[in-house]
Amino acid sequence: METLTAKDLTLGFGGNVIIDDINLEIPKGKVSVLIGANGCGKSTILRSLARLLKPMDGTVVLDGDNIAKMKTKEVAKKLAILPQTPITPEGLTVQELVKLGRHPYRGITKKWSKKDDDAVERALEVTNMLSLKDRLVDSLSGGQRQRAWIALTLAQETEIILLDEPTTYLDMTHQIDVLDLLFDLNEKDGRTIVMVLHDLNLASRYADHIIAVKDKKIFAQGKPEEIITSELVHEVFQMRCSVACDPLFGTPMCIPFGKGRCVLNSVQ
Ligand SMILES: Nc1ncnc2c1ncn2[C@@H]1O[C@H](COP(=O)(O)OP(=O)(O)OP(=O)(O)O)[C@@H](O)[C@H]1O
Ligand SMILES: [Mg+2]
């Protein structure tokens, strides 16, 4: 099984350090979720793990090899990433976009195969995009487009899947659909999932491992029950909240303080 680790990793842009000398071991065969305030560096970490961003210092090691020295197609057979704001090539249909996920398996001599067709079909099906497969990606709603991109990521059929806010733009039904799908890919196929989520309650429900990022460092990591406490949420997000127990799942449920319509006194 593929492993993904970061050693003494420093990341940034134009000399400006965003992530300072972190070590990170992504638990294999588990679901990990990165949390943290806007701008703390979650996407930066995820992109460097996928080799989309060159570290200022340190290394990312994929399955024992320094990722910087691996061939692009070798990386893409082991690891897929859905970036936070993917840019859709113009004029592509959903199916054409999803087919791009099979690119790592193409070669000068290797023709499109039944296996490629099956992978594309499966990815379209599980993301509920079959009925939209001939539509231009440009013409889709934000949520439909997000699902098309998730389908592309799945068509790549990698053991490690990185997703940056995969539930953004999705209505609640589709948020749960996507997270259930990723949960199944993990449970049934043992895929390693790493994602960024802002919803701490869904993060607590779906994650085996939560990684909280703050002040250029990994502030804390561990099981949701250990990480999602009112103290940590206050430290990481500067937000006061009460942490209760999800009545359906028993996982931590963060209830933010703040203003709003309170009907407690009128409920008997
Ligand atoms: N290409 C870039 N050039 C310069 N600075 C960048 C670049 N990309 C990100 N940054 C900066 O790096 C910091 C971390 O950005 P990053 O996108 O990793 O944050 P994030 O934790 O993913 O935030 P969000 O929750 O808003 O997605 C921010 O201050 C951002 O402005
Ligand atoms: Mg981000």
3-state secondary structure the chain: CCCEEEEEEEEEECCEEEEEEEEEEECCCCEEEEECCCCCCHHHHHHHHCCCCCCCEEEEEECCEEHHHCCHHHHHHHEEEECCCCCCCCCCEHHHHHHHHHHHHCCCCCCCCHHHHHHHHHHHHHCCCHHHCCCEHHHCCHHHHHHHHHHHHHHCCCCEEEEECCCCCCCHHHHHHHHHHHHHHHHHHCCEEEEECCCHHHHHHHCCEEEEEECCEEEEEECHHHHCCHHHHHHHHCCCEEEEECCCCCCEEEEECCCCCCCHHHCC
Residue nearest to atom 2 of ligand 1 (CA): 13
Residue nearest to atom 31 of ligand 1 (CA): 39
- The pLDDT of residue 8 is 98
Beta bridge partners of 13: 16
pTM value is 0.94
Distance 188 CA to ligand 1 centre (A): 34
- The pLDDT of residue 89 is 84
- The pLDDT of residue 267 is 55
Q: Ligand 1, from 20, 43, 56: best to mutate by most atoms within 8 Å of Cβ? A: 43
The ligand minimizing its distance to the Cα of 83 is 2
Distance 109 CA to ligand 1 centre (A): 40
The ligand minimizing its distance to the Cα of 211 is 1
Atom of ligand 1 nearest to the CA of 47: 18
Q: Ligand 1, from 9, 10, 11, 18: best to mutate by most atoms within 8 Å of Cβ? A: 18
Q: Residue 4 — φ and ψ, nearest 5°?
A: -135, 120
Rounded Cα distance between 55 and 22, Å, is 11
Ligand 1 pocket by Cβ (under 6 Å): 13, 18, 36, 38-44, 84
The ligand minimizing its distance to the Cα of 42 is 1
Q: Ligand 1, from 34, 44, 213: best to mutate by most atoms within 8 Å of Cβ? A: 44
- The pLDDT of residue 127 is 92
- The pLDDT of residue 264 is 86
pLDDT, averaged in runs of 10, over the chain (268 residues): 90 97 98 98 98 98 96 95 90 96 83 92 95 96 92 96 94 92 92 97 98 98 98 98 97 96 75
